Amino acid sequence: MAASSERSPPPFPDSEEPELLEDSDEGADAFTGTSISEMDSPSPDSTRPPKDIFNEPLEDIFSDPLSNINSEPQKKVDTKIPSPSSDEVVDLFSDPLDDDSEVISSPEVQNPMPDLLNEPVQAPKSDGSSKSSSVKKAASAELFGDEDEEDLFKELPKVVTKKPQPLGPPVDVFTEVKSDVKVKPQVKDDPTDLFTEEALTAPAPKPSASSSSSRTNGVHSEEHDLFSEATVELSLDSPRNDRKKKDAVKPSVSAPVAPVASSSSKAPSKTLEELEEEESEDTFDLNISVTNPEKVGDGMNAYMAYKVSTQTSLTMFRSKMFTVRRRFSDFLGLYEKLSEKHSQNGYIVPPPPEKSILGMTKVKVGKEDPSSAEFVERRRAALERYLQRVVSHPSLLQDPDVREFLEKEELPRAVSTQALSGAGFLKMLNKATDAVSKMTIKMNEQDVWFDEKIQDVENEEQHMRKLHIMVESLVNHRKELSGNTAVFAKSVAMLGSSEDNTALSRALSQLAEVEDRIEQIHQEKAANDFFTFSELLADYIRLLGAVKGCFDQRMKAWQRWQDAENMLQKKREAEAKLLWANKPDKLQQAKDEIAEWEAKVTQYEREFERISATVRKEVIRFDKEKARDFKRQIIKYLESLLNSQQQLIKYWEAFLPEAKAIA
């Protein structure tokens, strides 16, 4: 509670907008400060014509959406509670489509974004400053108030007149979100629309604000965590945004603010997306390598430690080059942390390589046989790829845990990663319940894109698995071939030694030598099959699992929304009964409940929209990465094959005259 009120923009001096205070309800005391923006906020939504937005100074545009975030939902709650007729409310929700159609054409959603993009340098600064520190915020608001006095005055009456019809603005809020959904399918393949898509994500944090305000009503406290986290996100957006922008524009300047907390939110994702675009074009300047696997300790308590070296020019890191030692469970721990924070938001968190008790035990026992050396190398390479995937994800790179993992000398031991621990058992239990609930959720997919994509991913995973099995089999057969070739080479050498024709004997021993080299080639090919091809597939099978996890998260969000919707329906029925039974004493309570559930429905719906948007963006990003990865790896694979062939030609060419020399 206290946290949320701290984070919400602080109260403004009364003297500044005295009229506004008259409007605000007493329930909104914590938010009184926001009233200035509250007054503003409806303007882009409903009252102000779109061209105003362009005419206005930059600060205005930016303070608008921000304050919207805080103010809109709050107002919604404020206004709804005193609303005299519940029928109107019912109406509102029963035919939202009409509202949609009105709003779809409204430009608010798209309009702020182009501006944002046109002035990226200044924009985030004001953005950041307005939010990161209360003083600045007040100052900028003042500034804005001073500069646009005229404007303000023009608008104010409109807003005030709007107020008596309290249901107006909330409708906009709802329909705005709904219209977002409508826009999406058109967005799909058009890259220029990418920004509008991000714009869609922009309203996402609203629910958190609305929830915090609903909490002021003291209703649902059980969701405290979620909301407070959301508010944390809000408050952190701006510094990061700010910093990111600065990084992008003038990379020489060292990062001014180190982000304290993590979890990504939608607001910075716009800018991150831009950044990512840039990044994917430029070379990604963060090189991570995992080297020097080393056994630490003895017996069953032994473990492998890896050297994780980072080389970067990104200013978010303290130095350009640094090295830490990490053990396997640290990598797992990193994944646990990341997945806990990000997967529920619909992010694809790259999964680490699997634990292998058998392989590790072999290493622990300490036999220096080739299979355990191969195991270690395989794991090392997998860990390296894992880290590279993590840092190449723009949102995950920002996570303090990632930086800590890369930079900090000593990490607290990751405890919950052991397979045979209580935590492991709990995890298994959770997985099982998840699987069950997944089966019970019957989601009728409205979104064609998702419908197809889910199916595609399912198919793709299946084929990848099949392919993986076959490549594994190829690896095994090549190894077998290599072994058999070696044996044959020895045998031919023996045959050559017992042959009594000198030239033939010589040719046979030459053949044995050739076969020996071919054995090497086969071995290299097997290693190549394995490390460049099979491991790539294994990685992507895991990653596709993560993608499916994202889809599941989205489905869960949908389920929550549907449940809330059902609940609301029930409440309304109850209210209707009460009306009919004419029990006014309970009516008020029923109305309160309805309002509460309406808020929840809105919130869950937005969460669903938000997660859908994120998942979608993530999947698009994933597909891009996948295409790049596969192309790069397969070309590498083929180049290595090419090399082998060249060697093969060399060997046989050398042999041919020997064979001809037999007389």
| Residues near another protein (CB under 8 A) | 456, 459-460, 463-464, 466-467, 470-471, 473-474, 477-478, 480-481, 484-485, 487-488, 491-492, 494-495, 498-501, 503-504, 507-508, 511, 623, 626-627, 630-631, 634-635, 638-639, 641-642, 645-646, 648-649, 652-653, 655-656, 659-660, 662-663
Say if residues 118 and 126 touch (Cβ distance below 8 Å).
no
User: Residue 571 or residue 626: which is nearer to another protein going by CB?
Assistant: 626
Helix (H, G, I), strand (E, B) or coil at 220: coil
Measured from the CB atom, the residue of 576 and 634 that comes closer to another protein is 634
**35/21 Cα distance (integer angstroms):** 7
Alpha-carbon distance of 392 to 625, in angstroms, equals 9
CB closer to another protein, 150 vs 653? 653
Identity of the residue, 352 or 496, whose beta carbon is nearer to another protein in the bound complex? 496
Minimum distance between the CB of residue 516 and another protein, rounded to whole angstroms? 12
**Beta-carbon contacts of residue 20 (< 8 Å; ≥ 6 apart):** 35, 36, 38, 39
Q: Write out the DSSP string of 497-559.
A: HH--SHHHHHHHHHHHHHHHHHHHHHHHHHHHIIIIIIHHHHHHHHHHHHHHHHHHHHHHHHH
Closest approach, Cβ 277 to another protein, in A, equals 18
Q: What are phi and psi of 288, to 5 degrees?
A: -120, 130
Between the two ends of the chain, the Cα-to-Cα distance in Å is: 97
Nearest approach in angstroms of CB 115 to another protein is: 33
CB of 353 to another protein, least distance (A): 23
Parallel/antiparallel/unpaired status of strands 303-312 and 286-296: antiparallel
Asked if 618 and 348 count as a contact pair (C-beta separation under 8 A), the reply is: yes
Query: At its nearest, how many Å lie between another protein and the CB of residue 218?
Result: 52
Residue 181 CB, shortest distance to another protein, in Å, is: 25
Our CB check for another protein shows the closer of 303 and 655 to be 655
Q: Between residues 610 and 626, which has the closer beta carbon with respect to another protein?
A: 626
Q: Count of alpha carbons within 13 Å of 586, Cβ hemisphere only?
A: 12
What's CA 41's distance to the chain center, in Å? 29
Cα–chain center distance at 313: 23
Dihedral Cα 389, 448, 206, 179, nearest 10 deg: 140
CA distances from 454 to 105, 155, 443, 449, 538 (A): 30, 47, 12, 8, 20
- Compute the distance between CA of residue 533 and CA of residue 538 in angstroms, rounded to an integer: 9
Q: Which is nearer to another protein, 511 or 578 (CB)?
A: 511
Distance of closest approach, residue 635 Cβ to another protein, in angstroms: 6
Q: Least distance in Å: CB of 505 to another protein?
A: 10
Smallest distance, another protein to C-beta of residue 489, A = 9
As measured in angstroms, the least distance from the Cβ of 497 to another protein is: 8
Quick one: angle between helices 535-581 and 370-391, nearest 10?
A: 50
Nearer to another protein, 31 or 540 (CB): 540
Q: Which is nearer to another protein, 268 or 496 (CB)?
A: 496
